[in-house]
Structure 1
């Protein structure tokens, strides 16, 4: 095989607690494992239609994301191929899922659509926590999610080699200031920072 044949894409917003699950999975994969050039790891964030080129150029597409399946928090569910757009659109949690559903539709319309797609989704526990991080039950789901991802890549013909020394956070797919370690170190506690939005504009109960 020559050129990139498989794209591993983490989507979501790391600033909204469990919404960052997908991005954190791809970040961890890159830090701990080394892949051949035909495998590309992408922090898709909330880029929406800007991800179209990555989808169009992939023969196989592996997606990590937080998905509202209506299951207990931390539950993983694997969805394949034609079912992926349906699950992304069934219970939209944020605009990034609407945007990525449109990316898949556009890729299909242009005739440049992956031969295989797999979505590894995790049921979130908390999303309304601006500046928060993954909840423990969702963070614990990362290890089995990564193993599912590695097994998927093996099934698709890609062997990952464990790094003797994990990559530094500055070398991760995420922006250095949003890498998990830096993000946790610089995040103020909830009692010092409003986690649900700008408190000047939040609805308040009338005072008596």
Structure 2
């Protein structure tokens, strides 16, 4: 590692591909779901680590400190049409993570980057792959169709970045691998969601009934 702690001079860069976000809030889970699918379908050299960063915040700092390059995958509110994908490099990464904070997870990850930079242990190369969400207000909901449709093309973007930027080639898996616990894997999580009739999604039905009776 060089004197700045940014990992220069290595023949094979240690690359962290990190999905962040909250799967409990619909499209906020895009980054996590993309990494989940990437890990299931592709194998990588030992120099590449795929990680579900969730909303862990500063707990991710040691992982950043040990990486030479970081690719972050997240739902980013650019104020653009839902499903729009953008890729940013270098100093643009922390700037766009903080442009329109959607939740505490983005604030937390900005602190991680700031801490790594302050300590002189940031990854030398930063890349952000972000997709504009469509819905964030559906607690317990999965990805919207618009954003879910961007998972596969975003994986293609990541594979191309790894190839073009680092000379890393991935290989298709013969059998799926999981990085998520079975209960929160996308198919199980979204497929097992109770219906709106069984689980009121706009509030406690007892309170709503009381409010309705009071209003009338």
TM-score by length of 1: 0.91
For residue 100 of structure 1, report the CA deviation from its aligned partner. Answer: 0.1
Using the alignment, how far apart are the partners of 1:135 and 1:163 within structure 2?
Answer: 27
Aligned counterparts of 1:200 and 1:98: Cα–Cα separation in 2: 35
Matches within 5 A, 1:20-35: 20-35=29-44
Query: Using the alignment, how far apart are the partners of 2:123 and 2:203 within structure 1?
Result: 38
Distance 2:147 2:51 in 1: 21
Q: Deviations over 1:152-196 (max 9, x none)?
A: 1112121100112323xxxx2222210012112321122321335
SS of the aligned residue for 2:98 comes to helix
How do 1:57-136 residues align onto structure 2 when only pairs under 5 Å count? 57-136=66-145
1:2 Cα deviation after fit? 8.2
Alignment of 1:177-192 (within 5 A): 177-192=183-198
Contact 1:2 1:38 in 2 (8 A): no
How far is 1:197 from its partner?
A: 5.8
Give secondary structure in 1 for the equivalent of 2:22: coil
2:215 is equivalent to residue 207 of structure 1: yes
Correspondence for 1:12: 21
- Which of 169, 172, 179 matches 1:173? 179
Structure 1: unaligned runs, 5 residues or longer: none
Report the alpha carbon displacement of residue 199 of structure 1 after superposing the two structures with TM.
5.8
Distance 1:195 1:117, change over 3 A: farther
User: Partners in 1 of 2:113 and 2:18 — Cα distance?
Assistant: 13
Residue 58 of structure 1: SS of its match in structure 2?
coil
Aligned-partner Cα distance in 1 for 2:204–2:76: 26
Does the 8 A contact of 1:12 with 1:65 survive in 2?
Answer: yes
Q: Secondary structure at the match of 1:78?
A: strand
Structure 2, gaps ≥5 residues long:
1-9
- Bigger Rg, structure 1 or 2: 2
Residue 36 (structure 1) aligns with: 45
What residue in structure 1 maps to residue 4 of structure 2? none
Alignment root-mean-square deviation, CA: 2.0
